[in-house]
Amino acid sequence: MTTAHRTPASPLTTGSSSRPTELAGFLRTRRARLTPECVGLPRTPGRRLAGLRRAEVAALAGISPEYYTRLEQGRQRHPSPEVLDALATALRLDADGRGHLHRITARPAPAAPPAPPEAPRAALDLLRALTVWPAYLVSPMRSVLAWNDAAAWLLTDFGALPPHRRNLAWFALCDPRARELYADWEAVARGNVHRLRSALAGRTGEEPLLAELAAHGGELFTDAWNEHEVRGPNTGHKRLNHPVAGPLTLAYTGYLLPGPERLELVVMTAPEDSPEHAVLHRHFGSSTPSPAGRCSPPSATRP
């Protein structure tokens, strides 16, 4: 019998570093990644700098070197949308990077704290129907809001974790079982940090999750955070060392659900003629959908 489980979101507050600092770090890291050849500029003899110079980025964006320097030094808070688009083009940003650049420089509007996201009924119904394929619903802050039995078997028993620890970033960085489970553990951990960086763009205030990850996630968290990499829902493959089934490789796809909460439904699959397909069908192929399970609210179990 397959159950779709859900839990209220962890009561984390939203927050990020200051906007000028965030923008400055993002621009510096992106400038350092580009070579003159990447943007069609000649490399002069004797050049030692690996990345682009500030003046080169400014020229590509059509702004003055002085203005660009103020941006990188955090002394210019709110560049215009036109300047941001020009910088995104000059720095060869993809769609995720361009959106991130606009979000971290947006003027904050006062608003009441958002209510914790709820798992939509339609998503829970879909999780129940996906009896064979591991699937889960995750918030932008990487909190797992709902999951099916196959996901619990494949990744970890989310229902056995305290509600505030049902978080993919915390699991990847701070739970020792993740190092054994993920064959590409470091890439998975970095990817979760990059997703957090994207989710926090444009927010102000303190973020307790970041403080916890900084305290317990080691140098990997710090390095990944300082990369200023951003990432949205995507597709790919996960290589796992499952404690029961052994090595498995599954494709995954993240589906962004409609609505302001930006919840993502992640479904993992395998080709019909693959060993992974056989393993999942052997364990869950005879399952039938059942009513969604409910988990205790965080206040009931949080220490």
For 71-124, what is each residue's pLDDT tens digit?
998 887 778 888 898 899 989 999 888 988 888 888 654 444 445 577 888 889
**Burial (Cβ within 10 Å: 0-12, 13-18, ≥19) of residue 98:** middle
Whether 135 shows a pLDDT value over 90: the answer reads yes
Annotate 155-181 with b (16+ C-beta within 10 A) or e (fewer): bbebbebebbbbbbbbbbbbbeebeeb
Task: Tell me phi and psi for residue 275, to 5 degrees.
Answer: -60, -35
pTM of the model: 0.67
Mean pLDDT, residues 164-185 taken together: 92
Q: Are 150 and 135 in contact, with CB atoms under 8 Å apart?
A: yes
Edge-to-edge strand ranges of the sheet holding 264-269: 235-242, 246-256, 264-269, 135-138, 144-148, 4-6, 293-294
Residue 277's pLDDT band, with cuts at 50, 70 and 90, is very high
Whether 17 shows a pLDDT value over 50: the answer reads no
- Sign of the CA dihedral 233, 156, 11, 265? positive
Task: Report the greatest alpha carbon distance in the chain.
Answer: 69
Mean pLDDT, residues 179-207 taken together: 87
Mean pLDDT, residues 238-253 taken together: 96
DSSP state of 11: -
Whether 186 shows a pLDDT value over 90: the answer reads yes
Q: Are 179 and 185 in contact, with CB atoms under 8 Å apart?
A: yes
3-state secondary structure of 253: strand
**Domain boundaries for CATH 3.30.450.180 within the chain:** 4-15+117-301
Which CATH code of 3.30.450.180, 3.40.1190.20, 3.40.50.620, 1.10.10.10 fits the domain covering 4-15+117-301? 3.30.450.180
**Domain boundaries for CATH 1.10.260.40 within the chain:** 19-104
Residue 292's pLDDT band, with cuts at 50, 70 and 90, is very low
Rounded distance between C-alpha atoms, residue 178 and residue 200, angstroms: 24
Ranking 10-24, 64-78, 236-250 by mean pLDDT, the lowest is 10-24
Whether 194 shows a pLDDT value over 60: the answer reads yes
Whether 10 shows a pLDDT value over 50: the answer reads no
Residue at token pair 């809001």: 145
| Percentage of residues in the chain having pLDDT higher than 90 | 41
Whether 299 shows a pLDDT value over 80: the answer reads no
Which CATH code of 1.20.1560.10, 3.50.50.60, 3.30.2320.30, 1.10.260.40 fits the domain covering 19-104? 1.10.260.40
More confident residue, 19 or 48: 48
Q: Collect contacts of 243-248 with beta carbons under 8 A, ≥24 apart.
A: 243/180, 243/181, 245/279, 247/183, 248/154, 248/275, 248/276, 248/279
The pLDDT score that the predictor gives to residue 163 is 83
Task: Tell me phi and psi for residue 247, to 5 degrees.
Answer: -65, 130
